[in-house]
Amino acid sequence: MMSRLLSHDLPRSRWLALALVVVALALLLAPFLFPGAKALSVAAKALVFILLVASFDLLLGYTGIVSFAHTMFFGIGAYGVAIGSTALGPGWAGVGAGTAAALAISLLLSLLIGLFSLRVKAIFFAMITLAVASAFQTLASQLSDFTGGEDGLSFKVPQWLSPGFAPFAGPDGPLEILGRAVDGRLITYYGLYVAVLVLFLALLRIVNSPFGRVLQAIRENDFRAEALGYRTVVYRTWSNVLSALFACLAGVLLALWLRYVGPDTTLSFEIMLDILLIVVIGGMGTLYGAVVGAALFVLAQNYLQDLLKLGAGAFEGVPVLSQLVSPDRWLLWLGLLFVLSVYHFPSGIVGRLRAMALERRP
């Protein structure tokens, strides 16, 4: 049953299986294990990034295509929900219309980019996608009447997703489970969890289908795949389209969680760099690397400063160490951790764990 659920792509490593179970259970029980608004927001961001990075890995890890336009489709999904909810009101009609419009725009743009750009060499395709993404970000910042400009758009979500909504409230207040109130925020989080789980399993099924095998063949040797009769441009184009659609849905989920969308939350180049870092840390061409890499990266990004504060207090008064462990140096330590992870795990964490498991087999 588990093999079918995972599309027969098992972790193939006990340590990797344990890591995946720990991440899945931690995210499932996050509202009860880690109280506080920040912890829940970190868990929600990790879920969104798991889907976003997995969709990019379909493009980079499985097809060998480097694209810098991924955050554009991420932003289209988020802006679609925001604009739809603003125009039609805080209901499911606005969310549905915005999501449908965002998916349609993402489909059209990714198809055009794929058809016109995938015939060129890899470096030129990467530059074309970077130019398109930059143009879209500039457009979103300047169309203030439509997108809110640099200030972005704040919108209201359907009642069931509203933080103040308590569907099981009684005379003593909202229903509580393990000390956690069952409200719209909790419903939104578990809706996010289920959506990411379903979409991740769908991606896993795609990469382990005959279509996914052809993509891997194109990644390894596109000339040989072409010689075997596969139209590589068609397969690359569909890989680009599918990756864009899943990224668009990740943007939809982020917008519903934040109830706000702006250029910095979805369209910034920093997000694209984060995606690339997570793919490298987790391991390209695995999808499981998106789960492990996103969880570790989001945790480090949000709690590294807190750890450095503890270190700064412990080494207070020590001339050099007190400056090195200052919370202001968190980006330095994050970069150092990335360099160490690449040095010790050149094929990513997932690739390294699978290689270790293979070495132990007789």
Residue 113 makes CB contacts below 8 A (sequence gap 6+) with 69, 128, 129, 132, 240
pLDDT tens per residue across span 106-147:
999 999 888 776 666 677 788 888 888 888 988 888 888 888
**What pLDDT band is residue 242 in, cutting at 50, 70 and 90?**
very high
Angle between helices 210-220 and 232-258 (to 10 degrees): 110
Which class for 56: exposed (0-12), middle (13-18), buried (19 or more C-beta within 10 A)? buried
Cα-flanking dihedrals φ and ψ of residue 180, to 5°?
-110, 125
Residue 333 makes CB contacts below 8 A (sequence gap 6+) with 304, 308
Quote the pTM value: 0.92
pLDDT greater than 70 at residue 2? no
pLDDT greater than 80 at residue 248? yes
pLDDT greater than 80 at residue 53? yes
Least confident of 98-107, 171-180, 273-282, 351-360: 171-180
pLDDT tens per residue across span 15-25:
999 999 999 99
Report the sign of the C-alpha dihedral through residues 211, 288, 197, 187, in that order: negative
For the CA atoms of the chain, what is the radius of gyration?
A: 21
Higher pLDDT, 341 or 244: 244
Q: What is the pLDDT of residue 1?
A: 60
Which secondary-structure segment (H or E) carries 166? Answer: none
Which parts of the chain are beta strand (E)? 153-154, 176-177, 180-181, 260-261
Length of the chain in terms of residues written: 362
Please tell me the distance from the alpha carbon of residue 356 to that of residue 362, in angstroms, as a whole number: 12
Q: Are 235 and 62 in contact (CB under 8 A)?
A: no
As given in the structure block, the two tokens for residue 315 are 């080494």
Q: What is the pLDDT of residue 226?
A: 84
pLDDT tens per residue across span 148-191:
888 889 999 988 888 877 777 666 667 777 777 788 898 999 99
Please tell me the distance from the alpha carbon of residue 349 to that of residue 341, in angstroms, as a whole number: 8
Higher pLDDT, 159 or 248: 248
Q: What is the pLDDT of residue 320?
A: 67
Q: What percent of the chain has pLDDT over 70?
A: 92
Highest mean pLDDT among 156-160, 171-175, 290-294, 318-322 belongs to: 290-294
Q: What is the pLDDT of residue 78?
A: 95
Average pLDDT, rounded, for the chain? 87
* Sequence letter at residue 8: H
pLDDT greater than 90 at residue 313? no
Distance between start and end Cα atoms, the chain: 27
Which class for 250: exposed (0-12), middle (13-18), buried (19 or more C-beta within 10 A)? buried
Q: What is the pLDDT of residue 170?
A: 65
Please tell me the distance from the alpha carbon of residue 294 to that of residue 265, in angstroms, as a whole number: 17
pLDDT tens per residue across span 58-104:
999 888 888 898 999 999 999 999 999 999 988 899 999 999 999 99
Q: What is the pLDDT of residue 177?
A: 77
3-class DSSP string for 81-129 = HHHHHHHHCCCHHHHHHHHHHHHHHHHHHHHHHHHHHCCCCHHHHHHHH
